[in-house]
Amino acid sequence: MKKTISLSLAVILTAAAVAGCSSGEKATNQPSTQPSANVKKEPVKFSIVYPTTVSTGYHTRIPDLNKDKWVLKLGELTNTILDMKVVEDSKYGLMFAGNDIPDVVGSIGGIGSKSMSGSVENGVFMPLDDLLKQYAPNLLKQVPKAAWDTLSYNGKIYGIPEYLSNPSRRSTYIRTDLLEKTGLQPPKTVDEFLNVLRAFKKMGVEQPYQMRETFKYADVILGAYDVLPYKDQFKLVNGQVVPKFFDVENMQKALTTYKTMFDEGLIAKEFATITSTDFTKSVNAGKAGIWSQNASGLPGYRTNITQAVPGSKVDIIPSPKGPDGKSGYFYYSPVIRTFFVNKNVKPDAAAGIIKMFDWMTSAEADTFFSFGLEGDTYTKDSSGKINYKFPVTKEDTEEEGFRSGTLWAVHDSTYNKQRLALNDDGKATLKAFDEVLTKEGLSGIGFYPDLNALTKYPDLAFPSPDVGPKLIIDHMIKMVYGKEPISDWPKVIEEYKAKGGNEIIKEATDRWNKKDGAVFIDIK
């Protein structure tokens, strides 16, 4: 490096001397103060932990991730050297307790996630506003405002997100081949939805609508009446911020619809105990007529169900509308993962880290993470079209997941447009996102960090963002089974208030009024 700099300076000095003499000026022997454009900056070295929820997969088979070809290539492309680990986020408490905190910490979720242990609020990480303005123009332009809002604390941005430009993720699936046999059109309203299910039952379809426990991925009717009992589904009513299930009239209508489905055998009698595994097995075996699931799963469902039932057709349709024209499912938080920078990181290293994250939103990054290395995992024809070797084995699939999932820290996770565009099922998925999901879904108020009161009342807390409080779900199930009258829903609300709900509502309202981590989650 020293030789390169000396040679560059010599060339600059010679050129300056020639230029000076030709213009009649006396050349000087003073060294140039401008650095050579040919001198490459030293790579920025930093430690980073990526979050995971599982202890298996590609990263566990690699003895030293820092020598992995994908990690090394990422460093080459971004002029960085990563000291990388992948850790289950449930174990982050040990990391914070031991004060052994890497330069960059990734978290599933955002500031208020359980794994972060209040570290942002306690000053462990640095605010990033100035760094983003200087080094991340693409990120500032591309990331939705709602995502930045969820990652702000005391008016400052503390995290860089893997984000969703379209928070509408879930969709209504239908076996189109079965629908065609009924002679009916795709249902547009709740009443038409029930009629299609009745036709499916008459045809002998085992699960006209595939339900499951806690109403998870079985909430299409709750969405139609805009009463989803979820984390980011609060709304402002008469000056108070309350859960949407406080809407007695529409909650009773939704529960009455589910009870009709139960009584008529349009959902399984044992729906309250159907697990995620049972749900997936039933759908993939071709036993379901309509079900709810993330739109990104369309290619997989088409493959699996066609194998189980040759000649079957699977499509995504608009969700049935309720009386107020609402339809669809809750909007996801716009943040999937977040990456925080340790406050002790030096300025030059912090700048390099932010530049790396900004690069991840580029077209070059999209191609690298989506397809890998040219000549290895993909080739290009004479027209520049990419021919990608889709993984076949479990090991190859996990390796692809590491590269395009784990390692791609910051990007729009709505869908992988380049890869989906390579085949018909992928194109159908893109069409569903762009033409169906953008026109439905339920906005709401969410809180980042979470409401403190929720930690005091476990039965009123949200076990996950898409599962309602235990107290509420228990009453819903009893009412669908006919063990409690649906007309008692006002009593459920009063019980909720008496058991801690009043405190939750007060805190939610105060934070909304103060604009203290209260975020309106919408598709815009």
2-6, 55-59, 255-259, range with the lowest pLDDT: 2-6
Judged against a pLDDT cut of 70, whether residue 29 lies above it is answered with no
Report, in angstroms and rounded to the nearest whole number, the Rg of the chain calculated over CA atoms: 27
The pLDDT score that the predictor gives to residue 12 is 38
Amino acid identity at 204: G
Task: Tell me what percent of the residues of the chain surpass a pLDDT of 70.
Answer: 92
CA distance 395 to 143: 33
Q: Are 156 and 148 a contacting pair, CB within 8 Å?
A: no
Judged against a pLDDT cut of 70, whether residue 62 lies above it is answered with yes
Band (1; pLDDT cuts 50, 70, 90): very low
Judged against a pLDDT cut of 80, whether residue 246 lies above it is answered with yes
Band (163; pLDDT cuts 50, 70, 90): very high
CA distance 119 to 289: 46
The pLDDT score that the predictor gives to residue 356 is 98
Mean pLDDT, the chain, rounded, equals 92
Task: Tell me what percent of the residues of the chain surpass a pLDDT of 90.
Answer: 87
The pLDDT score that the predictor gives to residue 39 is 56
Band (162; pLDDT cuts 50, 70, 90): very high
Smallest CA-to-CA distance from 330 within 189, 473, 219, 193 is with 219
The pLDDT score that the predictor gives to residue 230 is 97
The pLDDT score that the predictor gives to residue 523 is 85
Q: pLDDT by residue (tens digit) across 281-308?
A: 999 999 999 999 999 999 999 999 999 9
Q: How far is CA 173 from CA 192, 331, 362, 416, in A?
A: 15, 18, 33, 20
CA distance 225 to 249: 9
- E strand map for 101-260: 104-108, 152-153, 156-157, 160-163, 170-175, 207-209, 234-237, 240-243
Q: Tokens at residue 299, please?
A: 């290619």
Q: pLDDT by residue (tens digit) across 442-485?
A: 999 999 989 999 999 999 999 999 999 999 999 999 999 999 99
Which residues have CB under 8 Å from 282's CB, separation 6+? 206, 207, 210, 274, 288
Cα end-to-end distance, the chain, whole Å: 50
- E strand map for 31-95: 44-52, 80-88
The pLDDT score that the predictor gives to residue 4 is 39
Judged against a pLDDT cut of 50, whether residue 6 lies above it is answered with no
21-30, 234-243, 400-409, 411-420, range with the lowest pLDDT: 21-30
CA distance 152 to 448: 8
Smallest CA-to-CA distance from 209 within 231, 226, 183, 187 is with 187
Of the two residues 516 and 27, the one the predictor is more confident about is 516
Across 506-521, average pLDDT: 96
Q: Are 250 and 225 a contacting pair, CB within 8 Å?
A: yes
Q: Are 469 and 455 a contacting pair, CB within 8 Å?
A: no
Band (34; pLDDT cuts 50, 70, 90): very low
Judged against a pLDDT cut of 50, whether residue 31 lies above it is answered with no
The pLDDT score that the predictor gives to residue 454 is 96
Phi and psi angles of residue 17, each rounded to the nearest 5 degrees, phi first: -65, -45
Judged against a pLDDT cut of 90, whether residue 35 lies above it is answered with no
Q: pLDDT by residue (tens digit) across 224-243?
A: 999 999 999 999 999 999 99
**Residue pointed to by tokens 């009649």:** 24
Q: pLDDT by residue (tens digit) across 410-427?
A: 999 999 999 999 999 999
CA distance 438 to 23: 65
249 burial (CB, 10 Å; 0-12 / 13-18 / 19+) is: exposed
Helix-strand-coil percent breakdown of the chain, rounded to 5? 45, 15, 35
Judged against a pLDDT cut of 60, whether residue 28 lies above it is answered with no
